[in-house]
Structure 1
Amino acid sequence: MQRYILRKKNQITLISGILIAFAFITKWATGNMDIFEWALIIASILGALPIAIQAYQALRVKVVSIDVLVTIAVLGAFLIQNYEESAIVTFLFLFGAYLEQRTLNQTRSAIKELTEMAPESALKQMEKGEFEEVEVDDVDEGDILLVKTGAKVPVDGTVLSGEGHINEASITGEAVPVGKEKDSKVFAGTILENGTLKIVADRVGEDTTFGKIIELVEEAQDSKSEAERFIDRFSKYYTPAVLVLSFIVWFISQDIELAITILVLGCPGALVIGVPVSNVAGIGNGARHGVLLKGSEVIHDFSRIDTMVFDKTGTLTVGNPAVSETRYYVNDPSEVLRSLASIEQESDHPLAKAVLQEIGEITFLPVENTEVVKGGGIVANVDGHRIAVGNVALMEKENVKLTGEAKADIARLERDGNSLVLTSVDGQLKVMMGVRDQIRPEVKEDLQRLKALGVKNLIMLSGDNQGTVDVVSRELGLTKAYGNMLPGDKAEYVKKIKEEGRVVAFVGDGVNDSPSLALADIGIAMGSGTDVAIETSDVVLMNSDFSRLPHALGLTKATARNMLQNIIIAVGVVLFLLANVFFSQWMNMSIGMLVHEASILVVILNGMRLLSFRQRR
């Protein structure tokens, strides 16, 4: 019976409201007080039923809830035959609870939208080569899948063949389609806007990036911050205190109506709901914009950050070395470039990959007598010529004479943080390439935005040599930069500056960053980084989009402010109502309950503003 009544709470609220309206219309139209009173009595009893049941369930677990206060207040009003007050109070309380739940559901819309985006089926290649539609749960790692125009990508995978553009808004928050071709990575939950792709499944089910997003957001929304835990503890003692206060007022004044009015006005509803709704809305906004905040406690700590420490490679830089400048010491470099590419295509060194990417498609020549010079480069015979590819030390070993122009180029490129790839043919320098890891686009602007948000110290730690680190630091305007740092050195540095009293965030993407991510007050992982880094971190920037970092910091600061605003509103309303009980003549139960429920809606709507938050550039 109890479950049935609670399930029908919304219908009871509607009937109660109709009865109250009927009562007042009858009184004004006919003056019949009997119909007026009986309609209010029935409305009071109906409205009190679900409230009393909830109060009883709370008392069974030794909790004096808001429902207990309202139930006692309504019973008191009923006993003194103030049916108008009892009916209106029960209706406003139930109607307020309905609006509160409906509004709260909207703040949780981010996780609902994510869940609805989850793919349900996939076109899987069967044994005979044909593609058959199956449930996404029936897809295993290594399966070959076909994705057609307009379909959701069912798994995280790699493109085997085909081309197309994919909307990755569910992962990165950006609706601009991303081009995909052979060897491109694709993510579950994204939508193929045009083209057809054949992919191999790398991760399936809960292991996909999309699955982890849903899991992390669900966990974050269910978590409680220190502020929420404090308010829970406060309410545990505050609600009985209101009950005791109303009893004392009745004992001294013998005015039962005043006592039950205090019960209604002292309800801490807005205080209890204000902080959680801010947290849920903040986490939901982050999920929509490619930022995963792992819990309410993260929001509090992140909003106080004054120092950010960055790994260089893959965080401030792209992580893929590329040729920044090429110098030629020959009129027609085409044959030299063919020889260079022919040698480099046999190497798996990152510099070799950068050189090949710069040269582009070319016809390779046969390479003979290849000799790898440790710490220097490669020497080989190509088309009857002795070709040396490597650094300055290799050139000296090969007795290659460097002109004044070449020496000046070497000094300038090294000063700009480049690694050098020199190519000589039969003892004469022909080509010099400067290779460096490229700084992420717009990262300098993003760092300035972080400074504007109150981050006083921007520090870079890297395993690269100090010269390269200094070049990047100067270009980005960092506070400090340290090179030649091993993973243990980075962790020790983070520990040291924490002990100096700074609130530290560490931003990284690799396994070697995990100790620092765990040690910092806030660990921030780039979403395309390693699983270990993502698991260890408190915040994840999906798709390694560095521009999400200012949004994440601005969002947590806005959420922290929003929580404080809601606490001030809730406490202010209670103090205002209680003050008017003692020092004014117009305050009564009905008005008090109306203001009480209005304050709950105000803090919820204030929290919902966070759903539309966007950090200004």
Structure 2
Amino acid sequence: MQKKILAQKKELTLLNAIFIIGSIGAKFFFQQEWIYDVGMIVASVLGGLPIMIQAYQALKVKVISIDLLVTIAVIGAFMIGEYNESAIVTFLFLLGHLLEQKTLEHTRSAIQKLVQMAPAKAWKFTGEAFSEVEIDEVGVGDQLLVKTGAQIPVDGIVLEGSGYLNEANVTGESKQVHKQTADQVFAGTILENGTLKMRAERIGEDTTFGKIIELVEEAQDSKSTAERFIDHFAKYYTPLILIIAILTGLISRDVRLAITILVLGCPGALIIGVPVSNVAGIGNGAKNGILIKGSDVMNTFSRVNTLVFDKTGTLTNGKPTVATVQLYGKSATDYLALTAAVEAESDHPLGQAIVDYVKENSQEDFSKISVTDTAIKAGRGIVASVAGQRLIIGNKQLMKEQKIPLTTALQVDEQFLHEQGHSVVLIATDQEVVALIGVKDQLRQGTSETMSALRKSGIKRLIMLTGDNQRTAEIIGKELGFTEIQGDLLPEEKADVIQQLQQAGEVVAFVGDGINDSPSIALADIGIAMGSGTDVAVETSDIVLIQSTFQSLLHAYQLTKKTVTNMKENITIAIGTVLFLLVGLVFGYVYMASGMFFHELSILIVVINGMRLLSFKTKKAKLDRNQFAKIKESIE
């Protein structure tokens, strides 16, 4: 029966509220006092049942909880006929409990999603041919076949073949990576095109993808819900109020006074003060596209002094786009459409970026342009005949192979773009380069301003951890003012850095978006996920930036700081009111009527104070002239 009642706590809280509202309506609109009293009695019973059960269960393990104090206060209010007080106290107390239970919802489902995404089968060489087997039947040293569109089943080495792999599940990088003989491949990555024969090197939990699952499990198991402040307070406060009430009753022989101490001593403002701040803070966040998963998150994030970021999909948009086009020769513009016609036949991400750019910026319909004799030069580019011309599209190495001269001016342009982190595509025909295209994964809007504002708001260290190469990472990191930049990292290496920072005493928040980020998100004191990221990252995180904007990150940080300050204000008001009332009762300058007035007034004050958070707005960062000049220069 106790389990059934506790399982229906939400429903009982709702019924409690309905009866309170109905009772107030009957009294003030229809002058039905008896309905008012009966309604409040029913509300008190409905709300009091789960509280009494919790108090009883705590007593069984020799713990005097605040549930016991509320139970005694409710019974005391019944004895002196204050049914409305008992009903309201039970409702406020139950509401606070329900809000606290929302702290770490949905995290367990992240494990299930990861397991479902792990490879289940593999094509294994059994002596004469390849046959499909369960992943558990693959051993170290086995030869495996991976076809286009399939997942790499285990970590291993390519023996034969070549193709492009999407390694986003492991490295977080959206760009495709060309793999050929002797290259390493990771379980869970997807072969976008080509066919590979590979040798298994690491299987099961030892694979990179398996370690991701293991790290998330360990991190989530290590996270326990922090004991609420009210519970700590109750260890001392509850026995103290009981002793004061009993001593007062024995000394004065005034039972009503003793019960009044219990009723007024019940910290109504404390019970509602913290939850109302949480609700208002979380509501403000939701209104601004931020999902904050509980009060513990509010408190911890407000103390964060080190912010760690993934790069691709977090600091950047996660998709390469054409950032700049340099044209050479009078008719160079015509070749963009021809290039798009050739690249439309390829699934290479750089080619797709060019196709998208031409679609948006050219009026010519390149889909009708005839392309023949296409030859893909792995890792270098593509050569094709288009509109009666031989077009060469690729990197500098391909140009050298095709013996196409590169002018000094062109080499300067190409080198400059490389230094800015662009992938450079050269377009040539008739033995001369006619266009140079810079493709780059662009920074999210407002990133620079946000980094500056975060530092001013209290963040001491800004760190970038990425699976991308160190050179590219440093270009972006230095532009944004990061204090530490580490590239070429696997998921477990990112997680190691997080643990090292924590061991050094830092309070760490990690911001990421991909499956590969989920171990770091789970291990960090606060995990923050971009809403556009994977379900696993979103569900593992403590905070979700639904709109995936950095303005939201700044708002979340400043909001949590403001919310925690608001909570402390409400706690101070609540405890101060209780102390004032108890001292007043003992010394005789506070009576039941005036005590009730101050008691309810304190509740109203903390509610109004908490509701102020609903209108909280982020303080926008003001760039100084040097910062503005740097941003302007980077744009140019």
Give the shorter-chain TM-score range.
0.5 to 0.7
Does residue 543 of structure 1 match 2:547?
Answer: yes
Q: Which amino acid aligns with 1:596?
A: H
Match of 2:568 in 1: 564
Q: Secondary structure at the match of 1:387?
A: strand
Cα distance change of structure 1 residues 6 and 65 upon mapping to structure 2, 3 Å threshold = farther
> Could you tell me how far 1:101 is from its partner in structure 2?
9.7
Letter in 2 for 1:277: V
User: Matches of 2:537 and 2:486 in 1, distance apart?
Assistant: 21
**CA contact 2:16–2:87 (8 Å) conserved in 1:** no
Counterpart of 2:336?
337
- Aligned partners of 1:432 and 1:409: how far apart in 2? 8
Structure possessing the higher radius of gyration over alpha carbons: 1
Distance in 2 between the 1:55 and 1:387 partners?
81
Aligned mates of 1:55, 1:395 — CA distance in 2: 81
The alpha-carbon deviation at position 96 of structure 1 amounts to: 5.5
1:612 aligns with 2:615: yes
| Equivalence for 2:594 | 591
1:13, 1:94 within 8 Å by CA — same for their partners in 2? no
User: What is the letter of the counterpart of residue 85 of structure 2?
Assistant: F
Identify the match of residue 509 of structure 1 among 496, 509, 513.
Answer: 513
Q: Secondary structure in 2 aligned to 1:308? A: strand
Task: State the SS of the aligned residue for 1:299.
Answer: helix
Indicate the residue corresponding to 1:25 in structure 2. Answer: none
Q: 1:444 aligned to 2:448?
A: yes
Residues in 1 aligned to 2:611 and 2:443: alpha-carbon distance in whole angstroms: 37
Partner amino acid, structure 2, of 1:573: T
Determine helix, strand or coil for the equivalent of 1:460.
strand
Q: In the aligned structure 2, how far is the partner of 1:439 from the partner of 1:49? A: 59
| Deviations, residues 146-192 of structure 1 (Å, cap 9, x unaligned) | xxxxxxxxxxxxxxxxxxxxxxxxxxxxxxxxxxxxxxxxxxxxxxx
Q: Report the equivalent of 1:226.
A: 226
1:367 maps to amino acid = V
Instruction: Tell me which residue corresponds to 1:172.
Output: none
- 1:201-260 deviation digits (Å, cap 9, x = unpaired): xxxxxxxxxxxxxxxxxxxxxxx96353x4146437644542332221333344555534
Equivalent residue for 2:579?
575
1:523 matched to 2:539? The reply is no
1:404 aligns with 2:408: yes
Conserved 8 A contact 1:51-1:71: no
CA drift of 1:353 comes to 1.5
Contact 1:524–1:541 under 8 Å retained in 2: yes
TM-score under structure 2 length normalisation: 0.65
What are the ranges of 5 or more consecutive residues in structure 2 without an aligned counterpart? 1-11, 57-66, 101-223, 621-636
Deviation at 1:391, TM superposition (A): 0.7
CA distance in 2, matches of 1:227, 1:593: 30
Q: CA RMSD in A?
A: 3.8
Distance 1:372 1:47 in 2: 80
Query: Is the alpha carbon distance of 1:469 and 1:576 closer, same or farther for their aligned partners in structure 2, counting shifts above 3 Å?
Result: same
- Tell me which residue corresponds to 2:85: 93
Give CA-to-partner distance per residue, 1:369-414, whole Å, 9 cap, x none: 3222222111223344432211111111111111111111112111
Report the alpha carbon displacement of residue 357 of structure 1 after superposing the two structures with TM: 2.5
Compare 521-530 and 492-501 and name the one that shifted more. 492-501
* 50 and 528 in structure 1: CA distance in 2 versus 1, 3 angstrom threshold: closer
- Alignment partner of 1:494: what SS? helix
Pairing 1:432–2:424 present: no
- Matched with 1:466 is 470
CA gap of 1:483–1:580, structure 2 versus 1, over 3 A, is same
What SS does the aligned partner of 2:449 have? helix
CA distance in 1, matches of 2:499, 2:454: 22
- Unaligned 5+ residue runs, structure 1? 23-38, 76-85, 109-223
Determine what percentage of the aligned residue pairs are the same residue.
Answer: 44
| Structural mapping, 1:308-323, within 5 Å | 308-323=307-322
2:483 pairs with 472, 479, 485, which one? 479
Give, in whole Å, the separation in 1 of the partners of 2:36 and 2:327.
92
Q: Give the secondary-structure state (helix, strand or coil) at the position aligned to 1:353.
A: helix
1:421-450 superposed Cα distances (whole Å, 9 cap, x missing partner): 011213222211111111112221122222
**Quick one: structure 1 residues 256 and 338, their matched pair in 2 at CA, closer, same or farther if it must change by over 3 Å?**
closer
For residues 94-131 of structure 1, the C-alpha deviation after alignment (integer angstroms, 9 at most, x for no partner) is: 68659969999xx99xxxxxxxxxxxxxxxxxxxxxxx
Q: For the Cα contact (< 8 Å) 1:92–1:594, is it kept in 2?
A: no
Relative distance call for 1:531 and 1:72 in structure 2 (3 A) is: closer
Tell me, in whole angstroms, the C-alpha distance in 2 between the residues paired with 1:397 and 1:442: 42
**How far is 1:419 from its partner?**
0.9
Distance in 1 separating the partners of 2:448 and 2:240: 54
**Change in CA separation of 1:225 and 1:274 when aligned onto 2, cut-off 3 Å:** farther
Give how far 1:7 is off.
7.2
Structure 2 counterpart SS, 1:547 = helix
- Aligned pairs for 1:46-125 (under 5 A) are 59=52, 62=56, 64-66=68-70, 68-69=72-73, 71-72=75-76, 75=79, 86=80, 90=82, 93=85
Shift, 1:50, TM fit: 6.5
Matched residue of 2:68: which SS? coil
* Structure 1 residue 509, shift from structure 2 partner: 1.3
Structure 1 pair 248–56 and aligned structure 2 pair: CA distance change class (3 A): farther
Query: What is the CA–CA distance in structure 2 between the aligned matches of 1:349 and 1:47, rounded to whole Å?
Result: 69
1:429/1:273 Cα in 2 relative to 1: closer, same or farther (>3 Å)? Answer: same
Aligned mates of 2:231, 2:391 — CA distance in 1: 75
Task: Kindly indicate whether residue 391 of structure 2 is the aligned counterpart of residue 387 of structure 1.
Answer: yes
Counterparts in 2 of 1:58 and 1:305: CA distance versus 1, 3 Å: closer
Q: State the 1:74 CA deviation.
A: 6.7
Name the amino acid aligned to 2:370. P
Shift in CA distance, 58/347, structure 1 to aligned 2, threshold 3 Å: closer
How many angstroms apart in 1 are the aligned matches of 2:314 and 2:607? Answer: 37
Aligned to 1:422: 426
